[in-house]
């Protein structure tokens, strides 16, 4: 894929700036059908906070309370949700679209400000799949980040353009899952 797919007008999304200058903040993508994408991103957030780094988590298509939010906030992680409490089935509602656009605008501001060292855009790949915003909009937001900001995008079905632009891509693959045996989400484990 040509490098132009991975840049906005001024900067490449991944490891080098438009001028070819190295950037210290890289782009991670955690994708796949297996469990653990958000968990891996939050593990990185935990490590970053332990090292004194400033962390922002923006959750797309999520708007319900869950156990990790309490823990993250107690560690000084800034968490924002850009979704309603229910899942999106079929075409997104106007409220879903508005929340996603608000999230993209806030993510752009956070990424470009350099106020945070690690920015996690949880379920941003799913937001693209659901039609909440286009992959090019997401890539433009990522390209706007300050050169020192590490970014993580999670979600099933990462778009090929995002995968191509990433510096690191990890695909979680389901080998076996207890959901298949009827075990539902449990507080503190999946919720």
What's this model's pTM, rounded to 2 decimal places? 0.86
pLDDT band at 12 (very low <50, low <70, confident <90, very high): very low
Mean of per-residue pLDDT scores for the chain: 87
**DSSP E strands: which ranges in 33-149?**
55-60, 78-82, 118-122
Tokens of 69: 């939010």
Q: Which residues contact 190 (CB under 8 A, 6 or more apart)?
A: 35
Q: How far apart are CA 17 and CA 77, in angstroms?
A: 27
Q: Where along the chain do its domains lie? A: 28-173
Q: How far apart are CA 176 and CA 158, in angstroms?
A: 21
Domain 28-173 bears CATH identifier 3.40.50.300: yes
Choose the weakest-confidence range: 11-25, 59-73, 112-126, 137-151: 11-25
Q: Within a 10 A sphere around the Cβ of 57, how many other Cβ atoms?
A: 25
131, 96 contact by CB (below 8 A): no
């Amino acid at each position: 894929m040509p490098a132009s797919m991975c840049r906005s007008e001024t900067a490449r999304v991944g490891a080098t700036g438009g001028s070819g200058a190295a950037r210290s903040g890289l782009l991670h993508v955690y994708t796949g059908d297996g469990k653990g994408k958000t968990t891996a991103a939050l593990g990185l957030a935990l490590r970053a906070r332990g090292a004194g780094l400033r962390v922002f988590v923006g959750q797309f298509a999520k708007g319900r309370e869950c156990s990790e939010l309490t823990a993250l906030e107690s560690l000084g992680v800034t968490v924002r949700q850009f979704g309603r409490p229910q899942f999106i089935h079929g075409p997104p509602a106007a409220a879903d679209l508005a929340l996603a656009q608000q999230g993209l605008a806030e993510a752009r501001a956070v990424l470009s400000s350099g106020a945070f060292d690690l920015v996690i855009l949880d379920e941003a790949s799913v937001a693209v799949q659901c039609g909440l915003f286009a992959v090019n909009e997401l890539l433009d937001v990522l390209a706007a980040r300050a050169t020192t900001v590490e970014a993580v995008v999670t979600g099933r079905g990462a778009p090929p353009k995002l995968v191509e632009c990433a510096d690191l891509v990890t695909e979680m693959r389901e080998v076996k899952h207890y959901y298949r045996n009827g075990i539902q989400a449990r507080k503190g484990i999946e919720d």
